[in-house]
Structure formats: C-alpha cells, structure tokens
Amino acid sequence: MSEDKPRKRDVILLAVAGALMLVVITLFVHYLKPISLRGAVLKQDADPRRQSPIADVEVSVDDGLAVPPTKSDFSGYFKLTLPRRILSGRPITLRFRHPDYEPLDLKETVSDRAYLAHMVPIHPEAVQPNRPEIAVTNVFVRYSIETDTAVNIGTGIKTFQVENKANVRCDHSTPCSPDGKWKGATAEASLDAGDGNKYENARVSCIAGPCPFTKIVSDGFSRGGRTISVLALDWSDTTTCCKRKYLGTRSAILFASPIPSFSAIR
C-alpha cells in the first residue's frame, strides 16, 4: 500500500503538469496568431440609405508598423493583418485615402470588432437644376404582327433596411453574427405579383451601409413565383438592401410592327 501512494501522487503531478503545459501552449499560440483588422469604408451621409460603399480606398496603419497597405473592394470591405507582436488593446491609427474623398485618420485600438470609416466626398453631388417639363402629345403606335407569348409586364427596384448597432456583444437573446460574437438584427421583405403573374430573375443585394457584415439568410427571390420573400441578417450598423430586376410574365396577344408619329411641345 505504501508503494501505491507515491505512484498515485506521481500520476497526479504528471496530469497537472500536462494540463499546465497545454494551457501555456494554447496561450502561446493565441498570442502569436496575427490579428487582422476588418472593416468597411462608406460614404459619409446622415441618411443610412445613402451611405454607399467606397471601393479602391487605400487603407494603412500610421504607427511605424511594418503593415502592407490594402485597398477596399467593391463592397467597401478591407482587411489589414498586423504583425504577431501587436496584441489586442494597443492604440493604433488607421489612414484612409482616396482621390475623390477627404483624407481620414481614425484613432482606434486593436480588437476583433468591425472598423467603419465614413469618408466625405471632395466634390458633392450636383443638384439637378429645375427645368421646364416637356409635354409629348399626339403619340400613335399601330401594330401588325400577332403573337401569344409570355411578356415582361414590370420591372423595378424596391429597398428595405436592416436596422442594427455595430460592435455590441451578443447576449444570445437576439440574432447574432455567424461567429456568435456580435448582436445582430434581421429584416424580412416580400413581393406579390398578383393573379396570373409571377416574378422571374429577381435579385437581392446590399447597396448601402456596412454590406460585408450582412448576410442573406433565406432567399426566395431566386426561386421566383407569384410571391417571393427574403430574410437578411445584419451584425453591424444599419444596412439597406435592394430588391431589383423583377419581372412578371403573363400570356398576352400583341400586335407588333410600330408606326409611330408624335409631336412635342415645350
């Protein structure tokens, strides 16, 4: 019995030492893993529906760090990978440069959150001057070819928003980001083509806000049909999604070969 006790003690000591070694290795690997800063570049506007993504913005770090600059893509998304020695919580300055926008420097701290940069255009959008309306009268169109086919009876664009606040930790009482870290929000939209009609070639895309942090959860648009719907998830600031290029089809009889004549008055 006296020999069994030292053996049990040795086994316990080895198990504790192994567990401590595993913890040390895990922490070592964690802190040596480079941190990547991810974010989106948007046009500055008080209206979230007009905060369109900005592509080809040069993003760099202005702290003497050997970090190669990168450029934002078509959705405004950018990613900067920091050196391994840079740890979370360190102050850092992000520089954003684009020839059509005012320079922007953001003083931030290193973390895993989404970095959102709002840039001000150098040349504001021109306001269309008021012009007199032109009335077109006496328009006549005659058709002479008969056909019975499915025809395009409507195209259009409709938008909807997914309202949310960026960089709020998820408490799992609401929708979360795909990695479970950030609070998210969802929004659903649908369209009804009406009796005898159906939608085809419908598409949904994000057109404003931090689009890289938005995901289409359920897409009924691509399947088509009389009624189509979509469910979108956003885990950053408010985004605007666009339902576009829908067309309804209906059997109809047309008489083609137009012979137009018209006159216009100002």
For residue range 6-23, what is the model confidence (pLDDT) as tens digits? Answer: 666 666 767 666 666 665
Last residue of one domain, picked from the residues 68, 88, 119: 119
Residues 141 and 110 in one domain: no
Residues 159 and 234 in one domain: yes
Residues 79 and 140 in one domain: no
Last residue of one domain, picked from the residues 119, 147, 175: 119
Residues 101 and 150 in one domain: no
| pLDDT greater at residue 33 or residue 210 | 210
Residue 137, pLDDT score: 56
CA distance 26 to 28: 5
Residues 142 and 244 in one domain: yes
CA distance 187 to 176: 13
Domain count for the chain: 2
CATH number at residue 89: 2.60.40.1120
Domain around 58: 35-119
Statement: residue 227 has pLDDT above 90: no
| pLDDT greater at residue 63 or residue 259 | 63
- Which residues, including other chains, have CB under 8 Å from residue 195's CB and lie 6 or more apart? none
pTM strictly above 0.85? no
70 contacts 266 by C-beta, under 8 angstroms: no
CA distance 168 to 182: 6
Residues 144 and 251 in one domain: yes
Which of 22-26, 132-136, 159-163, 174-178 has the lowest average pLDDT?
Answer: 22-26
CA distance 199 to 201: 7
Residue 117, pLDDT score: 97
